[in-house]
């Protein structure tokens, strides 16, 4: 075999590969939806991690019960120096701050003793702090800052031995990470599954060629939406139940609230993401585009819902976006039912924004489906 012959064959092979690469590049550049999603997803992630995610909590709701008014101004100054808290109730009666934490109206409650704990005759008493530990990442840094401020101020100015602050952690006293993460997984796993299944419904039928058969039937948009998504809602509910059973068996996760109310809420939550996935499917030209749309939605949801990072650490604009996401409310509902013993009324209040989201997503899906039929 001559060297020149081998060189010509190699040149022809390289030319064919370059031609194929050129054609594929043209296909990619002409697919504007895929290009925008491929660029948009990393841009959104960079912006969220850079500006929205903050492990340093701000505006943590705090309630104060005090029977000695002389300490009020000094205590408020200590709290303000931490830059972590927002006082939601003050001058409460003894025990009221702890009740507010138990009712979910505050994450931290301070119960001050009857004596002025800054005075010399108060050496036997110290402030008692009650903390909602269902999401410890949201309060631990803030509590550490408050304790440091307390010792810096009181220890520096007093010559008397002072007792340590008594801290009582409610709902998750051992600070078990699994008890914080697993309740949120009920919402995360259901969200991802329903988004993916919904996103692949119509676009998969078009690619398989069964789309024309569907159009030949007297099925209108509402019939298609309800008929196609109903089985998946059942699947999502069963999936959530399996997560709860595994959490109970593997991690001894407590169930202290109205579990039935949670199971009633799951189908609505699943339907909201199915409808959104259905809209992606109706708008997309390929399965890749539909899946990219689903990913574009669920990644910010996981970051801004309080599931992975403390909600209290986010800036106000990020919290506003998070409040519009169903996962935020599902995480709160599951933690409330499993850890804090909340009732059906609290679950219903968290599901109201989810119902609005589901209605909007269903409307978008219906419009997109009708346009696709036309």
Chain-centroid distance of CA 95 in Å reads: 31
Judge whether residue 1 has pLDDT over 70.
no
Give the span between the Cα atoms of 162 and 180, in whole angstroms: 33
pLDDT averaged over every residue in the chain: 81
Q: Which residue has the higher pLDDT, 348 or 370?
A: 348
Q: Model confidence over 43-99: pLDDT tens digits?
A: 877 888 788 887 778 888 999 887 655 556 777 888 888 888 888 888 788 888 888
Q: Are 67 and 97 in contact (CB under 8 A)?
A: no
Chain-centroid distance of CA 335 in Å reads: 12
User: Which residues have CB under 8 Å from 143's CB, separation 6+?
Assistant: 108, 129, 131, 167
Predicted confidence at residue 126, as pLDDT, reads 67
Helices and strands per DSSP (H, E), number in the chain: 14, 5
Give the span between the Cα atoms of 45 and 41, in whole angstroms: 6
CATH number given to 60-170: 3.40.1710.10
- Domain ranges, ordered by start, for the chain: 60-170, 176-373
Task: Record the pTM.
Answer: 0.80
Q: Which residue has the higher pLDDT, 322 or 227?
A: 322
Average pLDDT over residues 103-123: 70
Where are any strands of DSSP class E within the chain?
60-65, 85-92, 108-111, 128-132, 166-170
Q: Model confidence over 286-311: pLDDT tens digits?
A: 788 888 888 889 889 999 998 988 88
Q: Model confidence over 198-211: pLDDT tens digits?
A: 888 777 777 666 65
Tell me the torsion sign for CA atoms 209, 214, 217, 221.
negative
Average pLDDT over residues 214-221: 63
Predicted confidence at residue 210, as pLDDT, reads 63
Predicted confidence at residue 116, as pLDDT, reads 53
What percent of the chain lies above the pLDDT cut of 70?
Answer: 83
């Amino acid at each position: 075999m001559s060297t020149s012959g081998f060189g010509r064959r190699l040149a022809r092979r390289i030319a064919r590969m370059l031609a194929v690469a050129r054609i594929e590049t043209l296909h990619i550049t002409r697919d504007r939806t895929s290009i925008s999603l491929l660029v948009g997803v990393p841009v959104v992630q960079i912006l969220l991690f850079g500006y929205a995610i903050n492990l340093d909590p701000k505006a943590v709701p705090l309630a104060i019960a005090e029977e000695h008014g002389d300490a009020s101004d000094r205590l408020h100054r200590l709290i303000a120096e931490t830059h972590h808290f927002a006082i939601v109730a003050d001058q409460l009666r003894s025990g009221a701050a702890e009740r507010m934490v138990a009712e979910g109206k505050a994450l931290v409650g301070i119960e001050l003793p009857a004596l002025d704990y800054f005075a010399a005759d108060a050496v036997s008493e110290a402030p008692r702090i009650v903390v909602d530990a269902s999401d410890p990442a949201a309060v631990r840094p803030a509590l550490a800052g408050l304790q440091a401020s307390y010792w810096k101020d009181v220890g520096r100015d007093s010559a008397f031995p002072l007792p340590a602050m008594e801290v009582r952690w409610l709902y998750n006293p051992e600070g078990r990470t699994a008890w914080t993460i697993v309740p949120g997984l009920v919402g995360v796993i259901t969200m991802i599954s329903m988004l993916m299944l919904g996103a692949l419904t119509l676009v998969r039928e078009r690619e398989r060629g069964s789309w024309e058969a569907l159009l030949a039937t007297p099925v209108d948009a509402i019939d298609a939406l309800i008929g196609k998504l109903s089985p998946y809602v059942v699947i999502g509910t069963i999936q959530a139940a399996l997560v709860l059973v595994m959490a109970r068996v593997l991690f001894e996760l407590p169930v202290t609230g109205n579990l039935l109310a949670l199971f009633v809420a799951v189908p609505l939550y699943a339907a909201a993401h199915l409808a959104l996935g259905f809209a992606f499917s109706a708008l997309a030209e390929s399965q890749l585009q539909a899946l990219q749309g689903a990913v574009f939605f669920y990644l910010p949801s996981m970051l801004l819902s309080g599931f992975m990072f403390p909600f209290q650490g986010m800036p106000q604009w990020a919290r506003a976006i998070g409040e519009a996401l169903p996962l935020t409310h599902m995480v709160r509902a599951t933690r409330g039912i499993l850890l804090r013993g909340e009732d059906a009324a609290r679950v219903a209040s968290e599901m109201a924004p989810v119902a609005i989201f589901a209605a909007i997503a269903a409307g978008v899906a219906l419009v997109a489906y009708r346009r696709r039929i036309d």
